């Protein structure tokens, strides 16, 4: 009645129910941990041999068998078995088939509990390193685009209403700053991922003379998890990673919302390359910004994985529980979604490639004229007029009131503040003089904001230069 394929079959008098087998198996999704499982097993075997727990001949056999298994996995020839439940037992069974008793000795001084925690940390550490590279590539695309448009006028918005003039380069650099913090969060999270659980065994540690520090050094961990119960049972490192990922997706979702608005004919600020858009099955004229829309939608999916992981852990007593099998699919999907999103976004924001005056590859295009027209639609320099009066000696609240009346007057005439003659503006404050129009132009507004973090084109270029220097590190 026993199933000899199981690593625990001797305890039971009847086989697992077929539905339960499917319900509890994880191999169909955790097999993506295979290379990291082998990596961890080889480090463990090396330590066992160094400590005299297994013989050198066993270590050689394990190393030979694992090399063959790794090749089978990479070539797609490895046969995964649902009966063997998970990635760990599948690899161990195949190893035993290849090298006999040496394969059976590999599991000495460890449990699947510390084994899986190690595999996930190894896999996630590699994923974080890949994601950090992709964030940098997206930041470079943003810097290149921002540099092209360091002095391109556009309206800055609050409440989605025209507020004050900014440059498109300055607007883009806001997202660079968000991504810089995102990268910092991931780099900091990596420090807590990079601790070794192996050696904690099931929950209480091992009765063998294991050298956990040796395994940590072999696998490139910064150190070991110092409490065996905590090592096998907590997934806070995965939750922290997913929280950081949710913030990255949230930032890109905000950017996506703007791209969706800006690419509509009502704005007409930007044009996204055709390869990131689709058409309509019924309306021939449509060009839909599918990628930004899906980024916006997939953000909810990643946020959902964060909530799922938090909920997964909130009621678990120490130590390991089967609940933790549910930590992987959401984590895997978060990484996949984030990698795809960052990769696509980095390319989507690249400007057209032009050779000899001919566009050889379409890219992200900016309609400068549409952006400038929009600046002139919403009295964007009203605050500049108030500041002008303040510098002439009027208290700000009085200046605010005077300009508000001037805006109402211009609105009634269907023109911008800059279109009103200076002597007509003077009716709202006798401090208005002939020099007033220098501050009422969008360019004048930009030029006045020349402090660090301001939207003056010279400051935008300096911010880009600082950013490029920082990315070199």
Strands (E) in 283-408, as ranges, are 353-355, 358-361, 365-366
Share of residues in the chain with pLDDT > 70 (%)? 97
408 shares a domain with 343: no
Q: Which residue has the tokens 């501050």?
A: 439
346 shares a domain with 374: no
- Ramachandran category for residue 423: left, alpha or beta (phi over 0 → left; psi -120 to 50 → alpha): alpha
Of 355, 383, 400, the residue at which a domain comes to its end is: 355
15 shares a domain with 38: yes
User: Quick one: average pLDDT of 4-18?
Assistant: 65
pLDDT recorded at residue 4: 55
387 shares a domain with 335: no
439 shares a domain with 320: no
Of 77, 108, 139, the residue at which a domain comes to its end is: 108
pLDDT at 120 over 70: yes
CA distance 104 to 174: 56
Q: State the residue range of the domain holding 338.
A: 113-355
Asked whether residue 101 is domain-assigned, the answer is yes
pLDDT recorded at residue 208: 97
pLDDT recorded at residue 2: 47
Task: Please calculate the CA angle 410-416-422 and round it to the nearest 5 degrees.
Answer: 75
Q: For position 195, which CATH number holds? A: 1.20.200.10
Asked whether residue 2 is domain-assigned, the answer is no
**How many residues in total does the chain contain?**
473
167 shares a domain with 98: no
Both tokens of 388, joined, read: 């002008």
55 shares a domain with 28: yes
Asked whether residue 103 is domain-assigned, the answer is yes
Instruction: List, as one string, the DSSP characters of 363-418.
Output: --EE-HHHHHHHHTTTTTTHHHHHHHHHHTT--HHHHHHHHHHHHHHHHHHTS-GG
Asked whether residue 59 is domain-assigned, the answer is yes
Asked whether residue 363 is domain-assigned, the answer is no
Give the rounded distance of the alpha carbon of 407 from its chain centre: 43
pLDDT at 345 over 60: yes
pLDDT recorded at residue 3: 55
80 shares a domain with 129: no
Asked whether residue 328 is domain-assigned, the answer is yes
For 155-170, what is each residue's pLDDT tens digit? 999 999 999 999 999 9
Q: Which residue has the tokens 């678990």?
A: 316
**Residue 467: pLDDT band by 50, 70, 90 thresholds?**
very high
Enumerate the active-site residues: 159, 280
CA distance 210 to 369: 70
Of 327, 355, 383, the residue at which a domain comes to its end is: 355
Is residue 196 classed as helix, strand or coil in its secondary structure?
Answer: strand
Asked whether residue 153 is domain-assigned, the answer is yes
209 shares a domain with 86: no
282 shares a domain with 141: yes
373 shares a domain with 325: no
Number of domains into which the chain is organized: 3
Asked whether residue 364 is domain-assigned, the answer is no
464 shares a domain with 325: no
Q: For position 69, which CATH number holds? A: 1.10.275.10
């Amino acid at each position: 009645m026993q199933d000899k394929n199981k690593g625990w079959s001797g305890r039971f008098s009847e086989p697992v129910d077929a539905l339960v087998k499917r319900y509890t198996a994880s191999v169909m999704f955790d097999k993506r941990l295979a290379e990291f499982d082998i990596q961890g097993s080889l480090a463990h075997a090396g330590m066992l041999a160094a400590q005299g727990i297994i013989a050198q001949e066993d270590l050689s056999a394990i190393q030979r068998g694992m090399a063959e298994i790794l090749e089978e996995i990479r070539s797609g020839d490895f046969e995964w078995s649902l009966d063997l439940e998970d990635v760990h037992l599948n690899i161990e069974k195949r190893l035993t088939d290849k090298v006999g008793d040496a394969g059976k000795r590999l599991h000495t001084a460890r449990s699947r509990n510390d084994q899986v925690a190690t595999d996930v940390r190894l896999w996630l550490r590699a994923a974080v390193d890949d994601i950090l590279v992709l964030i940098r590539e997206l930041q470079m695309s943003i810097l290149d685009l921002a540099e092209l448009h360091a002095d391109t006028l556009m309206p800055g918005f609050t409440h989605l209403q025209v507020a004050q003039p900014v440059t498109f380069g300055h607007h883009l650099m806001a997202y660079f700053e968000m991504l810089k913090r995102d990268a910092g969060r991931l780099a900091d999270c990596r420090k807590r991922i990079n601790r070794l659980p192996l050696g904690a065994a099931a929950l209480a540690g091992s009765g063998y003379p294991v050298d956990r520090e040796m395994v940590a050094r072999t696998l490139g961990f910064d150190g070991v998890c110092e409490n065996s119960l905590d090592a096998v049972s907590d997934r806070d490192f995965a939750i922290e990673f997913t929280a950081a990922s949710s913030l990255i997706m949230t930032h890109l979702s905000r950017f996506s919302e703007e791209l969706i608005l800006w690419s509509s004919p009502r704005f007409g600020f930007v044009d996204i390359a055709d390869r990131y858009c689709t058409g309509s099955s019924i309306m021939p004229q449509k060009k839909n910004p599918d990628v930004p829309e899906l980024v916006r939608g997939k953000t909810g999916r990643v946020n959902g994985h964060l909530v799922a992981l938090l909920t997964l852990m909130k009621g678990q007593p120490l130590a390991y529980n089967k609940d933790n099998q549910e930590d992987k699919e959401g984590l895997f999907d978060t990484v996949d979604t984030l990698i795809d999103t960052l990769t696509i976004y980095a390319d989507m924001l690249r400007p057209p490639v032009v050779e000899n005056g001919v566009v050889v590859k379409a890219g992200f295009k900016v309609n400068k004229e549409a952006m400038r027209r929009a600046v002139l639609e919403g009295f964007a320099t009203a605050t500049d007029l108030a500041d002008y009066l303040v510098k002439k000696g009027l208290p700000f609240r009085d200046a605010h009131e005077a300009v508000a009346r001037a805006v109402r007057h211009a609105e009634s005439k269907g023109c911008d503040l800059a279109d009103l003659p200076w002597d007509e503006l003077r009716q709202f404050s006798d401090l208005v003089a002939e020099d007033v129009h220098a501050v009422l132009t969008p360019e004048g507004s930009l030029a006045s904001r020349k402090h660090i973090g301001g939207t003056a084109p010279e400051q935008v270029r300096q911010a880009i230069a600082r950013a490029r220097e920082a990315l070199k590190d």
